């Protein structure tokens, strides 16, 4: 019988404000890892809230429950050799650190942009509503965000293009030994993974995968 060397599982955990760039970078990383023939799964906070965490709200308790559920699944995947990507605001340090200590092979990526910048982007029109008081408990506006104190990777999406941020992430994953080669393999725009709520330009009608609600 041929022995196939087992892929080392790990979790890349993106944290940051809404609109900071978590889903954008998750999609790019998903395609880079797939191109390397790795087993990859992506857990995007906004999508998780429509299935695994359906019914949960935005109190601290519900936010923590949401993150611990994501961490639980990420741990199962990671220990089975899957390259697991999580992109969720995950505003509370304690909840992130609990996931870190369970998963161990944990790469925290702090996706940084200020509230002002995210509000200017206002990808989903939510900041306008939050600032008008139409949405309460909105992270960065009327709810806390606790930035990581020592993330493995820090990307500043105020000053970097997505291409630069993803390169930093690939270089770090390569340095940590999770991937062999950090050079970009995917350049052309990719079809939607189906695992994030990101809207991509020129997106095909049918995503390549879809988690049904
Ligand atoms: N370096 C960068 N990395 C990721 N996104 C960036 C970067 N610079 C600008 N952006 C833009 O910021 C927005 C981030 O949106 P999104 O990925 O949906 O955020 P999140 O998932 O964190 O809510 C996109 O419009 C993206 O094009
Ligand atoms: Mg997102």
For tokens 């996931």, the residue is 99
Nearest atom of ligand 1 to the alpha carbon of 45:
21
Distance 87 CA to ligand 1 centre (A): 12
- Residue 41's pLDDT is 98
Closest residue by Cα to residue 135 from 152, 119, 113: 119
Q: Which residues are near ligand 2, the ion (C-beta closer than 5 Å)?
A: 22-23
SS3 labels along 152-165: CEEEECCCCCHHHH
Distance spanning both ends of the chain, measured CA to CA:
41
Q: List, in sequence order, the alpha helices (H) in 147-208.
A: 162-175
The confidence score (pLDDT) of residue 201 equals 67
pTM of the entire predicted model: 0.93
**pLDDT per residue of the chain (213 residues) written in tens, 0 to 9:** 666 667 899 999 999 999 999 999 999 999 999 999 999 999 999 899 999 999 999 999 999 999 999 999 999 999 999 999 999 999 999 999 999 999 999 999 999 999 999 999 999 999 999 999 999 999 999 999 999 999 999 999 999 999 999 999 999 999 999 999 999 999 988 889 999 999 876 554 455 554 444
Residue with CA at minimum distance from ligand 1 atom 24: 21
Ligand positioned closest to the Cα atom of 118: 1
CATH of 10-114+144-184, picked from 3.40.250.10, 3.40.50.300, 2.40.50.140, 3.30.2230.10, is 3.40.50.300
Please identify every residue annotated as catalytic: 90
């Amino acid at each position: 019988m041929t022995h196939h060397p087992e892929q080392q599982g790990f979790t890349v955990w993106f944290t940051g404000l809404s609109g900071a760039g978590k889903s954008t970078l998750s999609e790019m990383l998903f395609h880079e890892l797939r191109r390397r023939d790795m087993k990859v799964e992506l857990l995007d906070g906004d999508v998780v809230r429509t299935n695994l965490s359906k019914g949960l709200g935005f109190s601290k308790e519900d936010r923590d429950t949401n993150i611990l559920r994501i961490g639980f699944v990420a741990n199962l995947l990671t220990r089975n050799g899957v390259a697991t990507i999580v992109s969720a605001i995950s505003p509370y340090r304690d909840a992130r650190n609990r996931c870190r200590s369970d998963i161990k092979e944990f790469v925290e990526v702090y996706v940084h942009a200020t509230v002002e910048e995210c509000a200017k982007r206002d990808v989903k029109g939510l900041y306008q509503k939050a600032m008008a008081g139409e949405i309460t408990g909105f992270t960065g506006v009327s709810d806390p965000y606790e930035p990581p104190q020592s993330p493995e990777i820090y990307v500043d999406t105020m000053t970097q293009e997505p291409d630069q941020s993803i390169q930093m992430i690939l270089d770090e994953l390569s340095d940590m030994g999770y991937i062999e080669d950090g050079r970009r393999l995917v350049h052309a725009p990719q079809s939607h993974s189906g695992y994030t709520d990101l809207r991509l330009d020129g997106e095909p009608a049918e995503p390549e995968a879809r988690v049904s609600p």
